[in-house]
Structures are given as structure tokens and as C-alpha cells.
Amino acid sequence: MLSMHAIKVEKLDKKFGDFKALDGMDLVVRKGEVYGLLGPNGAGKTTAIKVLTGLLKKTSGDAEVLGVTIPNKDITQKIGYMPQETALYIGLTVHQNLEFFGKLFGMDKAKILERETELLKFIDLEKWRDELVANLSGGMKHRVSLACALIHEPEVLFLDEPTVGVDPELRVSFWNFFSKLKEKGITILITTHYMDEASHCDRVGFMRSGKLIAEGEPQAMLKEAGATSLEDAFLFFARRDRT
């Protein structure tokens, strides 16, 4: 099925017991867009990503990725996911981790090696290829985690706080890389608490209590809120939502 949208969510609910982590969430992310999901701790950002990547089952509502209703096994090949808690095998080397994720996606050895060379160059860890992940610093682990999410050349990339604990210089290079991925037509849904990063997104969506309360281009959001920072804009929209 052809779809203009990379991600489409309608009236999405996710309950944990009686608690609604997602409460009628609506979201549309266009193909090739970098969309930033912002919101306080517990707003439901990670839950939304987990439903969209098929890791959590929705309670009700609709969720589609690339025109396919989630969960769907065939779509997982086209999805890349960098979890908030890095999910690497620390007893394996960098190379073995990349190989593991490549095999998981059915890639052959030659293709994995080709992608590995490219990705290790980007994350600047070529020298660390045969080092155990356990021996890497936190920021290095983040870089490996990003490479693992990209090994199979996904069309839609979910990045859950990919730059937490990453030094400023590396954060800049992460964002340069995200722009390169965007140029290739890859869609990115990213969560972050760094508002300076959010301004790099094509559009941002503010989440609160399991739903989207406002969205738009960063500059337009500032204008609408009469704010000079996205933090202040969030407070404006949160207040408006409550009344």
C-alpha cells in the first residue's frame, strides 16, 4: 500500500492496568521528515515508540508505519530503533554486536561488513571494532547503539533520546548524520529533552499525559506561544491544554 505518511497514529491508547500511558494520541509524520517528540518525564514518548516498533501491544486505536498497521512482522525490516536504555550485548565486541543485529535482519555477511565499515567510520570507532562493549565509555556505547539501529538501512528510524550523556561535540556530529539520513529520504522520529536539538527538527510535537497537545515547525511554535525558547513554548501549550 502506498502512503504519504511514514507514521500515522489515531486515537491511540495504551493502558498499563488502569493507567493510561497513551490517551487518545494522534500523530502524523510525513515521509522524509525529522519529527521531534518532546514532553516531560512520563508523558508517554517511549511508550508511543514501543507501540510503533511493535514491542508493546496497543490497547486501542490505530497505528501505522509506512501504510502498514502495527504490529506487523514484515515492517520490522524497514524500521530502525535506538532504545532509550541502550540494548547492546556488553560481553560481545563492537563488531559482534553489529553482526548480531545484521543477522537478526537477515543480512548476509558481506553486506554486514560493508555497512559496518561505513558505520564505524561515522561513529569514529574503527579502532574499537574488536573491543568488548563493556569496556567502552557511555558515549561510545551510544554511538554503537546508533550504528546497530542503522545496520539494515531502515526507512523509518525511531531514536529515543539518542544524545543523552553524549558530549556537545559528538551531539553536533549526531545531528549532522541525522541530516544526511534525511537527505537519503529516511524518516526520523526522535525524542529529546535538549531543546536546542529540537530546533533542528522539521516539526516538533509536545506530548503531555499520553497525548499530543501541540505541534508545528519550531519557529512557528515559538511565534504562536509568543515565546523565545521551546521550554517556554511548552509551558504555554501545557497551560492552554489544561484550561
Ligand X SMILES: Nc1ncnc2c1ncn2[C@@H]1O[C@H](COP(=O)(O)OP(=O)(O)OP(=O)(O)O)[C@@H](O)[C@H]1O
Contacts to ligand X by CB under 6 A: 16, 21, 39, 41-47, 84
Q: Do residues 158 and 49 lie in contact, with contact meaning Cβ atoms separated by under 8 Å?
A: yes
Binding site for Mg ion (CB under 5 A): 45-46, 84
Q: Which residue has the cell 559528538?
A: 170
Report yes or no: 141 and 86 within 8 Å, Cβ to Cβ.
Answer: yes
Closest to ligand X by CB, 41 or 219: 41
The helix/strand/coil state of 199 is: coil
Q: Residue 163 binds what, of ligand X, Mg ion, none (CB under 5 to 8 Å, by partner type)?
A: none
Which residue lies nearer to Mg ion by CB, 164 or 238?
164
* β-strands 211-216, 203-208 pairing: antiparallel
- CB closer to ligand X, 98 vs 212: 212
If the CB atoms of residues 44 and 80 are measured against ligand X, the closer one turns out to be: 44
Q: How far apart are CA 153 and CA 164, in angstroms?
A: 23
Which of ligand X, Mg ion, none interacts with 27 (beta carbon under 5 to 8 A by kind)? none
Q: Which of Mg ion, ligand X, none is residue 39 near (CB under 5 to 8 Å by kind)? A: ligand X
CA quadruple 187, 190, 196, 199: dihedral sign: positive
Q: 207 is written with which cell numbers?
A: 506530548
Task: In angstroms, give the least distance from the CB of 207 to ligand X.
Answer: 7
Output the smallest distance, CB 14 to ligand X, in A. 8
